[in-house]
Amino acid sequence: MTPQIDRRPWIIISLLAVALLLCIPLSQIIFHINYNYTLTVVAVGGAALGILASVIGCFAVLRHESLLGDALSHAALPGVAIAFLIAGREIFPLLIGAAIASWLGTQFALAITRTTRIKQDTALGIVLTGWFAVGLALLSYIQSRPDASQAGLDKFIFGQAAAMVQRDVEVIAFAALISFVLLALFWKQLKLITFDREFAQANGVNVRGLDLLLSTLLVVTIVVGLQLAGVILMVGLLIAPAVAARQWVHKLGQMVFLSAVFGAFAGGSGAIISGLDVALPTGPLMIVMASIIVFLSLAFAPGRGLIWQKWQQWRTRSDIADNRAANLPRPQSES
């Protein structure tokens, strides 16, 4: 017997994709937004980053490693500061420094977990606070220097979307392409270690190597997103779309597709809304849109949403009451 296909997630994905495509013409008609070069680049970059971050974030959420993304994003800050002291304000050395610092933070947390009795969440908390404190101290030192070359360096904390150019979008797209190819090649193994790590180890799967692959993809995603979302807000773009998608679906493939649509919508719409006013920051607006999607999903998602569950409970009580009323003995009429 052929299993019945659940078409509901794909309907949701299709509707959201159409809504995302309609954002641009509707925003031009209703709000008269001028899609100049800067806004176009930021909107495309935000959508691309949302897709990349949300797909990688699905595995972090399902593996209960949401704090890992937070720790990695905060750990990138000292790498940015050290790279600036060595190479100046060139964006490529800054991103390399962020990647090295994030990767070292990951390995340090794993080393603590493996060699001590400290649990993973505690180790990640140590890395998060320690690395970020070092980064803030280095930024304070850099800001106190008499030269003006450090101006705007603190924007890496919250993002500097207005500084994006077409090359940055191409870097995000290239990182997404490589990440998706790797996910496709190791899809079965990654799925296995995500849901049954012990079974994967028993069957000879290289669990440690796959863990390293996922952590590396997380580092790459965070680093390419620093300029747009910053070290503090980047974790929101990683986690929020995946959490929202999890409320609607029951399969990993569907979750990845729906999370990608949520991420693209949050990234693109956040950038478009920032175009309404130059004083509105793009990075925080992207996270606001992602958070709205999460709240709506937690409330209305079929089967898991709070309001959906309340409605189902009301329907059940109503059906029980109707059945009881139908089964009550009818009074006999007097002859």
DSSP 91-112: HHHHHHHHHHHHHHHHHHHHHH
pLDDT single digits (tens) 242-273: 999 998 888 898 899 889 989 998 988 888 88
CA–CA dist 95, 281 (Å, integer): 21
Please answer whether residues 91 and 156 qualify as being in contact, where contact means their C-beta atoms are separated by less than 8 angstroms.
no
Q: Please give the single-letter amino acid code of residue 19.
A: A
Q: Provide the residue ranges of all domains of the chain, joining segments of one domain with +.
A: 24-320
Model confidence at 151: pLDDT above 60: no
Q: Which of 134, 46, 67 is nearest to 97 (CA)?
A: 134
Q: Please say whether the beta carbons of 121 and 71 come within 8 A.
A: no
pLDDT in tens, 7-42: 666 677 677 777 767 777 777 777 677 778 788 888
The CATH class that applies to domain 24-320 reads mainly alpha
1: pLDDT strictly greater than 50: no
Q: Which residue has the higher pLDDT, 6 or 146?
A: 146
Q: Does 149 score more than 80 pLDDT?
A: no
pLDDT, mean of residues 288-310: 85
**Average pLDDT score, the chain:** 82
pTM value is: 0.84
Residue-wise pLDDT tens digits, 196-223: 888 888 888 888 889 889 988 988 898 8
Give the position of tokens 């807000």.
Answer: 233
DSSP per position, 236-284:
HHHHHHHHHHHTT-SSHHHHHHHHHHHHHHHHHHHHHHHTT-TTS-HHH
Q: What is the rounded CA–CA span in Å between residue 65 and residue 82?
A: 27
Amino acid letter, residue 323:
N
Q: Indicate the Cα dihedral angle 129, 130, 135, 140, nearest 10°.
A: 90
Helix and strand element counts for the chain (H, E)? 13, 0
User: What value does the mean pLDDT take over residues 297-314?
Assistant: 81
Report d(CA 118, CA 128) in Å as an integer.
15
**Residue 242 burial (C-beta neighbours within 10 Å; 0-12, 13-18, 19+):** buried
CB hemisphere CA count around 276 (13 angstroms)? 12
Q: What is the pLDDT of residue 320?
A: 77
What does the pLDDT read at residue 185? Answer: 94
